[in-house]
Amino acid sequence: MNKPDSISSAAALLTTLRDGESPEIAQYLAYLAEQRRASPHTLSNYQRDLKRLQSLAAGRALASLSMHDIRRFTSRLHAGGLEARSIARTLSAWRGLFRWLVRQNLAGNNPALTVRPPRAPKTLPKALSPDQTAALLDTPLDLSLGVSEPLDLRDRAMFELFYSSGLRLAELAGLDMSGAYSVADGEVTVLGKRGKTRRVPVGSKALEALDTWLRARVAMAAQDESALFVNRRGGRLSAGMIRLRLARWAKLRGMPVHVHPHMLRHSFASHLLQSSGDLRAVQELLGHASIRTTQVYTHLDFQHLAKVYDAAHPRARKQ
C-alpha cells in the first residue's frame, strides 16, 4: 500500500534542522518516528512546537530549564496571541520531550509536567442540520454547478462516506482499494489515532456513490495505484485537496457556512445520537478512546431539542 512512511518522513524532517538547533529534538523526533510510528503530520506538529521551545529558551540547554521557565514561556505564547488549545498541544509536545530526556538520563526532571495551559473557552463542534446535510449531498450533479466528471463523482463518494461513517480526514485519505484499510462487505476499515483500527458500517447512499466512482476511477488511476480516491494525475488525493474540494462543493450548493471534513464527522455523530440516544455506540463508531470526548454531542443534541421546544411549545413562543 502507498501509505506515508513515518520513518522516511522523519528523516526528511531531520534534514531541515539547521545549525544550532537542538540535537535532542532531532533524536526525539527520530524516536517518535522509529519507535512510536508517529505519522508525518504528527511529526511536523511536534517539530514546530519543539522549535518554539528552543526559540524561547534563547540558547539555554533544554535540560537546564525549570518549571518557572516553562510557565514563563507559556505566558509569552499566550500574550503573543496563541490560542489556549494550541498552547495545550504545545505543552503536550514539551512534556513528551522532557519525559524522553529523563528516560535517556539527559535531564533530571520534567519541568513541563505540572504546567497547565490557559483555560480555553468552551465551544461546541459545528454540525450541519439534517436538512442542510441533505441539501449538500442530495443536490443532483449539474453542469450549471461546474461539474467536471469524474472528479465530481469522486467527490460525491468521498463526502457521502464522510457523513455515512463519521471518518476523520486522514482516515478517508488513507483508504485503499483493497487490503487492511478499505471498503468491503458494506463496512469501511480505517486506521485511526494512536494506530487504532476500527470498522464502521457504510450506508446505502455512500455505497451507491462509491460504486459509481469506482467505475469512473478505472480511467483516472495510475497503474498499480492502491488509493481509493485519486487526483487528476492518478495518484493518491491529498488531505488538503479533499478540504478544498469539499469547500468548493458546499459553496456551489449555496451552503450558508464554511463546510469542512470534520463538520461532516460532527454531523454524523450528532444526527446518530439524536436518532438513537446510544452514546456508547456513537463512541465506538467515532473511535473515541474516552466517553467524555463523545459526550460533547449530547450538548448538540440538547441544542436541537431546545430549538424544537422553542418552536413548538405554546409557552415558549413570544406573543
The residue ranking higher by pLDDT, 193 or 228, is 228
Strands 197-201 and 183-184, bridge-based pairing: unpaired
Calculate mean pLDDT across residues 270-291.
78
Marked catalytic residue, from 41, 99, 262, 304: 262
The order of strands in the sheet holding 197-201 is 183-184, 187-191, 197-201
pLDDT in tens, 22-40: 889 999 999 999 888 888 8
Q: Residue 236 above 80 pLDDT? A: yes
pLDDT in tens, 240-252: 999 999 999 999 8
The percent of residues above 90 in pLDDT, for the chain, comes to: 51
Marked catalytic residue, from 217, 236, 265, 271: 265
pLDDT for position 17? 46
pLDDT for position 314? 53
Q: Residue 101 above 70 pLDDT? A: yes
Do residues 79 and 114 touch, judged by C-beta distance below 8 A? no
Marked catalytic residue, from 168, 217, 236, 271: 168
288 counts as catalytic: yes
168 counts as catalytic: yes
Please give the model's pTM, rounded to 2 decimal places.
0.58
The residue ranking higher by pLDDT, 304 or 71, is 71
18 counts as catalytic: no
The residue ranking higher by pLDDT, 96 or 21, is 96
Write phi, then psi, for 230 (nearest 5 degrees): -120, 160
pLDDT for position 125? 67
Calculate mean pLDDT across residues 282-291.
77
Please state whether 215 falls in left (phi above 0), alpha (psi between -120 and 50) or beta. alpha
Question: If you average pLDDT over each of 21-25, 83-87, 94-98, 199-203, which comes out highest?
Answer: 94-98
262 counts as catalytic: yes
